[in-house]
């Protein structure tokens, strides 16, 4: 009898814990997030801060549909196979309700394909590849950040104004870089039919031989350069080019992403002046929504935000808005809710396009300069993502899914 009472007591305790855990789970929305934290810390540490700030603000305001948000974060090791495995584990072991994240383009494509086959909603926060919303797009994947095409399209009018005929191109040899140069060549040729591309120099991601690249650029004798390298590759290129006096005032450079603090700050006093770039001049944005965001971020982290911060913050705000509109985290409800979804971000209000699931988040375009030994952007202008898209007819040709 004592054994029976004990067993009954244990069973009751287990049941109570189970019910409590179930009740707790019902009171939270678990967001599964995977990213390349180990290999891309400059971007993704501030990105994580942005997510945490958004979660804190949303939860303090009462959550979403009465439920608190909870982040479950995992590293994808910058490997497509690992990323798919991690995505599966987030659902099977962590019981997440929705999936977001990825940084590198080939990782984003792998997780997007996972979402398609598992029929799960996926918000790709950062990967820039155009394929994720066009050629390889699927009904389960939406993307937040301005794509490669969009950011290149923002730079091409400035490149055309230079009126330079002979262009050399430097890029990382993977999906993002390949997509960027293809778009640049197409759009610049349309704007300036007589343009020539005299050199195309590809480097393995994170392993640029900067000295050899600068030598090849010098040998090609271009009138201007389009650069797509970022992170440590960018720093190495700038240093080698400056040492060899290639990047001087007579060599115009148009450079994707180089005005983002993640990549600009390490250059310091070596910042090349006059480069035309996309970036994030957090210190010069005077809009009410950005000033409110900046004050909240600095109060929490005692630091300034990076572009990654904006993306992480915007991803959580987007998910919260989508889940609230859908009334659930069920995949079909989220897909319906995200089509045309409007979200307030530090860059202003954006929306997710029905035609290709791309958000209209834009980017800042300006020129590099130096101030107090640091690189900054000047002559900045915000380009709305809605104004940097191809025509709907072109999108329909590229995107073959509903």
- End-to-end alpha carbon distance in the chain: 64
> pTM of the full predicted structure?
0.91
Quick one: pLDDT at residue 26?
A: 59
Is residue 276 within 8 A of residue 158, CB to CB? The reply is: yes
Angle, CA 310 vertex, CA 304 and CA 316 arms, to 5°:
125
Phi then psi for residue 204, to 5 deg, are -60, 140
- Strands 122-124 and 166-172, how do they pair? unpaired
Distances (CA, A) of 155 to 47, 149, 191, 252: 24, 10, 12, 13
Report all structural domains of the chain as residue ranges with CATH numbers, in order of start: 24-146+286-362 (3.40.50.2300), 149-284+364-387 (3.40.50.2300)
**Left (φ > 0), alpha (ψ -120 to 50) or beta: where does 119 sit?**
left
What is the mean pLDDT, run by run of 10 residues, along the chain of 402 residues?
Answer: 45 43 65 96 95 98 97 97 97 97 95 97 96 96 97 98 98 93 97 97 94 97 97 96 92 97 95 97 97 98 97 98 98 98 98 97 98 96 96 92 68
CA 110/CA 317 separation, integer angstroms: 24
Q: The tokens of 253 are what?
A: 């450079």
Q: Cα separation of 312 and 377, whole Å?
A: 22
């Amino acid at each position: 009898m004592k054994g029976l009472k004990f067993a009954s007591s244990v069973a009751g305790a287990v049941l109570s814990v189970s019910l409590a855990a179930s009740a707790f789970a019902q009171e939270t929305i678990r967001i599964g997030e995977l990213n390349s934290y180990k290999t891309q810390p400059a971007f993704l540490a501030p990105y994580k801060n942005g997510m945490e700030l958004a979660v804190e603000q949303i939860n303090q305001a009462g959550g979403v549909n009465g439920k608190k948000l909870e982040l479950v974060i995992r590293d994808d090791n910058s490997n497509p196979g690992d990323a798919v495995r991690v995505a599966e584990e987030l659902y099977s072991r962590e019981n997440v309700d929705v999936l977001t994240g990825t940084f590198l383009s080939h990782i984003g494509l792998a997780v997007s394909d996972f979402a398609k086959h598992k029929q799960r909603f996926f918000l790709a926060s950062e990967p820039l590849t155009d394929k994720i919303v066009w050629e390889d797009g699927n009904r389960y994947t939406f993307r937040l950040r301005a794509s490669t095409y969009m950011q290149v399209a923002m730079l091409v009018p400035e490149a055309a104004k230079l009126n330079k005929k002979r262009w050399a191109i430097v890029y990382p040899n993977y999906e993002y870089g390949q997509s960027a140069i293809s778009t640049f060549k197409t759009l610049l040729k349309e704007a300036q039919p007589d343009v020539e591309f005299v050199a195309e120099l590809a480097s393995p991601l994170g392993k640029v031989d900067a000295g050899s690249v600068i030598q090849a650029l010098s040998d090609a004798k271009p009138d201007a350069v389009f650069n797509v390298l970022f992170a440590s590759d960018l720093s190495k290129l700038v240093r080698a080019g400056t040492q060899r006096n290639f990047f001087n005032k007579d060599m115009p450079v148009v450079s994707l992403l180089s005005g983002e603090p993640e990549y600009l700050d390490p250059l310091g006093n070596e910042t090349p002046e006059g480069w035309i770039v996309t970036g994030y001049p957090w210190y010069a944005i005077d809009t009410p929504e950005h000033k409110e965001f900046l004050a909240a971020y600095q109060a929490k982290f005692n630091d300034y935000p990076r572009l990654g911060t904006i993306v992480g913050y915007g991803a959580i705000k987007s998910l919260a808005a989508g889940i609230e509109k859908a009334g659930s985290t069920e995949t079909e409800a989220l897909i319906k809710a995200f089509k045309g979804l409007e979200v307030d971000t530090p860059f202003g209000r954006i929306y997710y396009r029905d035609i290709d699931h791309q958000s209209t988040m834009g980017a800042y375009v300006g020129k590099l300069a130096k101030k107090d030994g640091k690189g900054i952007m000047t002559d900045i202008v915000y380009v709305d993502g809605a104004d940097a898209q191809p025509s709907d007819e072109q999108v329909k040709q590229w995107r073959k899914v509903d």
